Structure 1
């Protein structure tokens, strides 16, 4: 299996180690290149990170092949691929499917199926899921095919350069057509699963836009400015408008059998080309029916 590799061009005379850092290669990734079978070439010749680059030198980083963890079982299953190249895989996940295996659902997850897909395609990588969705949430999921790419995507998320927009159906009718919920979220002291708004929690911010009111519920669009566990579900429940179907956070299942939440838009900067990529996913059938 051909290893993943990237080539850069030196803009000036600089120590190779410093240049690699400037290109976004983390110390952890560099260590894996050095000690796990990777290589660094300058103008086709292998060098160490102490090498001094000259302007216009071509630096090729050959990343080591990655092995899938023994705990992740590769399984056949349907996979809706929205976009794929040597660095990224964008999947449209159906509702009622785990993103990764859990104790309650050890098989059938998106990760299990992607592992088999990687195996069949000869992709020498373990699984790096950059944007995870809850089991009941449908929509776009971004997967990196390499540890370095995952690191670059994580940096984008920290710098708020990656945008995820959701559509949801919530109980009641919101008074304002647009609002920003800025409330810290932490683990609920009486549960290992639930989160809640609490002052000692992590900063969390969600933008909400009302699209339409219905009899007893509303159709809203949301943008995550942070990525806390259960963030949308907790924030909407906190303001008194829980998701339809989200019985964990106060929603009722009389109209829909799962939390009515869909990741419909994903926007990111490609980690190797620098191009802006935008993806969209239509609402799943159960949510569309309620509209």
Structure 2
């Protein structure tokens, strides 16, 4: 058990307790801090306070941080759709419904569990729970991911993601008919001010730019190709919802009810391009739309083609 003592200065008066602590504890998320507060591991002036407590000057905060539980991630014989592999990288076409790496509630059946069975050499930069994972896509998003097999490859790929020099193309089926053939959504993204598990377009969010192009129009729906200039959490889902065209099946940023009864958003990471970490040349990989997505498009073409 690690014990931490914090004292509130003038710069943090009226700040929420959970926000203040998450800013001070490096590597700990706000939700993690809220869990500590709920478990009464945080006391302010020797009293238990709630997460939304507004700090006062010279408040004394005592925190007990439990030792992290050692994770034992098991290798599992789960089929993988491997698009390409060499001594530095593995390119995988991830299935819809597969979580990328273990986390509370999902310690098995993840892409990492499958990768550990397939390959013993993965970069260790992100620790035991996320070996080789340079970037992620949501559980319900299918498509192309690059995995690093060594630390050098990981660092070189991570730098390209940081510089936004990676080519990333997604196909999304959205609600409504988009009238313009293409457009650019330049709107900052950050945590939703009220629903903290969601992202949103907010004034003080991080710079985020999405380019979209209409591929096909249907009655009530549009198939679009989206290119990411930046890579914010849920960027396409947030941006398309922001312009009034949420992704079909997206119950977080779109409509709760939809006639196709999809489990999760209709979004596929189709193309991924980058400078190979050791060869130094540009490479690009593509994947086909998953069967459910193609079937959905065929149904729309048969019943509601414009």
Q: TM-score range by the shorter chain?
A: 0.7 to 0.9
1:110-149 deviations in whole A, cap 9, x for unaligned? 1111122223xxx264312123110000000111111221
Aligned to 2:282: 276
Aligned to 1:254: 259
Instruction: State whether residues 141 and 265 of structure 2, in contact with CA within 8 Å, keep that contact through their aligned partners in structure 1.
Output: yes
State the 1:161 CA deviation: 2.3
In the aligned structure 2, how far is the partner of 1:166 from the partner of 1:88?
Answer: 21
Instruction: State whether residues 208 and 223 of structure 1, in contact with CA within 8 Å, keep that contact through their aligned partners in structure 2.
Output: yes
Matched, 1:108 2:109: yes
Q: How do residues 100-139 of structure 1 correspond to structure 2 at under 5 angstroms?
A: 100-119=101-120, 123=121, 125-126=123-124, 127-139=131-143
The gaps in structure 1 that reach 5 residues or longer are 1-68
- 2:226 equivalent among 219, 222, 234: 222
In the aligned structure 2, how far is the partner of 1:274 from the partner of 1:184?
Answer: 32
Aligned to 1:87: 88
1:244-266 deviations in whole A, cap 9, x for unaligned? 00011113442233210000111
1:50-88 deviations in whole A, cap 9, x for unaligned? xxxxxxxxxxxxxxxxxxx84433222111111101100
In the aligned structure 2, how far is the partner of 1:197 from the partner of 1:150?
Answer: 30
State the 1:215 CA deviation: 1.2
Instruction: State whether residues 88 and 142 of structure 1, in contact with CA within 8 Å, keep that contact through their aligned partners in structure 2.
Output: yes
What is the SS of the residue equivalent to 2:91? Answer: strand
1:224-248 deviations in whole A, cap 9, x for unaligned? 1111110110001111100000011
Count of residues in Structure 1 that have an aligned counterpart in Structure 2: 220
Q: RMSD of the TM alignment (CA)? A: 1.5
What is the SS of the residue equivalent to 1:86? Answer: coil
- 1:286 equivalent among 274, 289, 292: 292
What is the SS of the residue equivalent to 2:288? Answer: coil
In the aligned structure 2, how far is the partner of 1:253 from the partner of 1:133?
Answer: 23
What is the SS of the residue equivalent to 1:77? Answer: coil
Q: 1:172 to 1:90 in 2, by over 3 A?
A: same
Instruction: State whether residues 164 and 231 of structure 2, in contact with CA within 8 Å, keep that contact through their aligned partners in structure 1.
Output: no
Instruction: State whether residues 273 and 283 of structure 2, in contact with CA within 8 Å, keep that contact through their aligned partners in structure 1.
Output: yes
Aligned to 1:189: 193
What is the SS of the residue equivalent to 1:82? Answer: strand
What is the SS of the residue equivalent to 2:119? Answer: helix
Q: How do residues 226-241 of structure 1 correspond to structure 2 at under 5 angstroms?
A: 226-241=230-245
1:141-194 deviations in whole A, cap 9, x for unaligned? 111111221111111123332101000100001121110101110112333421
- 1:265 equivalent among 271, 275, 281: 271
In the aligned structure 1, how far is the partner of 2:87 from the partner of 2:169?
Answer: 25
Aligned to 1:49: none
**TM-score, structure 1 normalization:** 0.72
**TM-score, structure 2 normalization:** 0.69
- 1:244 equivalent among 243, 248, 259: 248
Instruction: State whether residues 170 and 217 of structure 1, in contact with CA within 8 Å, keep that contact through their aligned partners in structure 2.
Output: yes
